[in-house]
């Protein structure tokens, strides 16, 4: 049994497997690691990135291995689809439990699980359970993962139902909410202003629906007439759908009105959230089946700052955003419905403070990072000890059997 920095006994060592570790948008994974206290985390990755932004106590980076080992690792990974050296490293590091982030990372850690016999927890987040699951090769790999994995975590009941559809055993499926660091996110009730700012944030991919959002903003501003002249629009992000986003800006009549700063560090995103008055998240299912799976964590960050939300009734978004209480939801691809919600909140800015207060309370109650890490450590305790994790008694899991 190890000791933490203040002398308290630690329950064990958990290997967090994520590649890369981490992208600039990966704060939600870091929030499952940094607050751990009883379990000592070691991160294993094939590609380290943004380490100053997302520091961890111990990081094993395959990119820093010796040249012969890097070559062998690349060849074996391409041949087998699995990480070849993790098992040996986990035995060296005294690991007691493996936690893979994303379904495909769980599959790539199966060799290490077989070599060590350690229990493997895998968290699914989105495309890994939707578009990946449409591919026969990944379905075959998932079959083995579902057979060998000790537990599977999802961030909401919609994602849980999707995992059940692709073969995840119900008795080893648990809804475990992601968390945000509410103690470090300043809250401020939004007050009416002559220059309201609408924010969209995320990667430029079809499932984000940013073109729908821009067209909805255009319709809302047109309906508002002269009242909309001072509305500002900020779009944080980058990605393969940028031409589609730019075309939507033009089609919506928003040329010259949209600020696009690109991808930003998490701290800058939080700052801009604090300056905004409305977050728009028009997510949808993409043509290849890709979806949010769970829900964008930016919705939690935004509500923690007191920002009202307009979003779609997609995946687990209705669990993140309570319609009529913390924000307003329209159906997927319903540009007119999104436009009506945007227009109503711009016409009635006196509603902002109440929605924002309710949003902050909702996040503090259900999605606080410290609270969720305490729950995660209890899950680790049970899985490492071979105890059955209660997967059906909690309110979070009550929606898994719903249609």
Cα 396 to Cα 177, 259, 291, 315, 356, distances in angstroms: 8, 38, 20, 15, 23
pLDDT averaged over the chain?
A: 93
| Residue 3 maps to a domain | no
User: Do residues 172 and 285 both lie within one domain?
Assistant: no
Cα–Cα distance for residue pair 349/331, rounded to 1 Å: 23
User: Do residues 212 and 299 both lie within one domain?
Assistant: yes
Q: What is the pLDDT of residues 234-277, one digit of tens each?
A: 999 999 999 999 999 999 999 999 999 999 999 999 999 999 99
User: Do residues 96 and 193 both lie within one domain?
Assistant: no
Range of the domain at 44: 12-179+368-399
The residue written with tokens 């900020």 in the block is: 234
User: Do residues 148 and 194 both lie within one domain?
Assistant: no
Do residues 48 and 61 make contact, with C-beta atoms less than 8 angstroms apart? yes
Structure tokens that stand for 213 in this block: 């959002």
Cα 4 to Cα 13, 41, 84, 94, distances in angstroms: 11, 11, 30, 15
Nearest to 144 by CA among 193, 106, 191, 99: 106
| Residue 361 maps to a domain | yes
Q: What is the pLDDT of residues 162-174, one digit of tens each?
A: 999 999 999 999 9
Model pLDDT, residue 399: 62
Query: pLDDT confidence of 391, banded at 50, 70, 90?
Result: low
| Residue 7 maps to a domain | no
Question: Per residue in 296-332, is it b (16+ CB within 10 Å) or e — as a string?
Answer: bbbbbbbbbbbbbbbbbebbbbbbbbbeeebbbbbeb
User: Do residues 284 and 388 both lie within one domain?
Assistant: no
Cα–Cα distance for residue pair 362/397, rounded to 1 Å: 17
Model pLDDT, residue 403: 38
Averaged pLDDT, 372-376: 97
SS (H, E, C) the chain: CCECCCCCECCEEEEEECCCECCCCCHHHHCCCCCCCCEEEEEEECCECCCCCCCCCCEEEHHHCCHHHHHHHHHHHHHHCCCCCHHHHHHHHCCCEEEEECHHHHHHCHHHHHHHCCCEEEECCCCCCCCHHHCHHHHHHHHHHHHHCCEEEECCHHHHHHHHHCCCCHHHEEECCCCECHHHCCCCCCCCCCCCEEEEECCCCHHHCHHHHHHHHHHHHHHHHHHHCCCEEEEECCCCCHHHHHHHHHHCCCCCCEEEEECCCHHHHHHHHHHCCEEEECCCCCCCCCCCCCCCCHHHHHHHHCCCEEEECCCCHHHHCCECCCEEEECCCCHHHHHHHHHHHHHCHHHHHHHHHHHHHHHHHHCEHHHHHHHHHHHHHHHHCCCCCCCCCCCHHHHCCCC
Q: What is the dihedral of CA 14, 18, 21, 24, to 10 degrees?
A: -120
Model pLDDT, residue 1: 41
Angle between helices 210-224 and 335-347 (to 10 degrees): 50
User: Do residues 151 and 257 both lie within one domain?
Assistant: no
Q: What is the pLDDT of residues 281-318, one digit of tens each?
A: 999 999 988 899 889 999 999 999 999 999 999 999 99
| Residue 211 maps to a domain | yes
User: Do residues 122 and 271 both lie within one domain?
Assistant: no
Averaged pLDDT, 335-363: 98
Query: pLDDT confidence of 389, banded at 50, 70, 90?
Result: confident
User: Do residues 358 and 266 both lie within one domain?
Assistant: yes
Averaged pLDDT, 132-154: 96
Structure tokens that stand for 321 in this block: 């955003």
281 burial via Cβ count (<10 Å: 0-12, 13-18, 19+): buried
| Residue 387 maps to a domain | yes
Domains of the chain: total: 2
Averaged pLDDT, 392-403: 52
Do residues 231 and 266 make contact, with C-beta atoms less than 8 angstroms apart? no
User: Do residues 94 and 55 both lie within one domain?
Assistant: yes
Cα–Cα distance for residue pair 132/104, rounded to 1 Å: 8
Query: pLDDT confidence of 9, banded at 50, 70, 90?
Result: low
HSE (CB half, 13 Å, CA atoms) of 127?
9
The model carries a pTM of 0.91
Cα–Cα distance for residue pair 110/88, rounded to 1 Å: 13
CATH number at residue 169: 3.40.50.2000
pLDDT exceeds 50 at position 392: no
Model pLDDT, residue 38: 97
User: Do residues 292 and 161 both lie within one domain?
Assistant: no
User: Do residues 151 and 37 both lie within one domain?
Assistant: yes
């Amino acid at each position: 049994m190890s000791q933490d920095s203040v002398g308290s006994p630690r329950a064990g060592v958990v290997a967090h497997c994520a590649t890369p570790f981490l992208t600039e948008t990966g704060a939600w994974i870091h929030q499952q690691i940094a607050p751990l206290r009883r379990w000592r985390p070691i991160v294993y990755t094939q590609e380290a990135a943004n380490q100053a932004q997302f520091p961890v106590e111990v990081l094993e980076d395959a990119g820093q291995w010796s040249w012969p080992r890097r070559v062998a690792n690349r060849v074996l990974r391409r041949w087998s689809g699995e990480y070849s050296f993790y098992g040996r490293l986990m035995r060296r590091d005294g690991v007691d439990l493996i936690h893979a982030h994303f379904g495909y990372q769980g599959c790539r850690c199966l060799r290490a699980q077989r070599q060590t016999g350690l229990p493997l927890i895998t968290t699914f987040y989105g495309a890994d359970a939707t578009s990946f699951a449409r591919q026969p090769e990944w379905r075959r790999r998932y079959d083995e993962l579902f057979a060998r994995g000790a537990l599977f975590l999802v961030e909401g009941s919609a994602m849980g139902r999707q995992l059940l559809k692709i073969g995840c055993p119900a008795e080893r499926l648990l809804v475990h909410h992601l968390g945000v660091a509410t103690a470090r996110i300043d809250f401020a009730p939004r007050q009416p202003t002559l220059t309201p700012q609408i924010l969209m944030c995320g990667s430029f991919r079809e499932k984000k629906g940013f073109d729908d959002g821009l067209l909805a903003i255009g319709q809302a501003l047109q309906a508002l007439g002269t009242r909309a002249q001072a509305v500002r629009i900020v779009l944080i992000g980058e990605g393969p759908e940028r031409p589609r986003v730019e075309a939507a800006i033009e089609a919506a009549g928003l040329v010259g009105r949209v600020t696009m700063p690109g991808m930003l560090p998490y701290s800058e995103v939080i700052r801009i959230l604090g300056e905004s008055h409305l977050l728009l998240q028009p997510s949808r299912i993409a043509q290849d089946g890709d979806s949010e799976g769970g829900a964008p964590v930016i919705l939690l960050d935004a509500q923690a700052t007191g920002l009202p939300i307009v979003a779609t009734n997609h995946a687990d978004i209705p669990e993140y955003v309570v319609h009529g209480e913390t924000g307003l939801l329209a159906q997927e691809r319903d540009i007119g419905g999104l436009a009506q919600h945007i227009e109503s909140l711009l016409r009635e800015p006196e509603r902002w403070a109440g929605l924002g207060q309710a949003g902050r309370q909702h996040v503090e109650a259900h999605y606080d990072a410290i609270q969720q890490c305490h729950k995660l450590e209890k899950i680790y305790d049970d899985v490492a000890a071979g105890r059955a994790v209660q997967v059906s008694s909690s309110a979070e899991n009550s929606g898994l059997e719903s249609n």
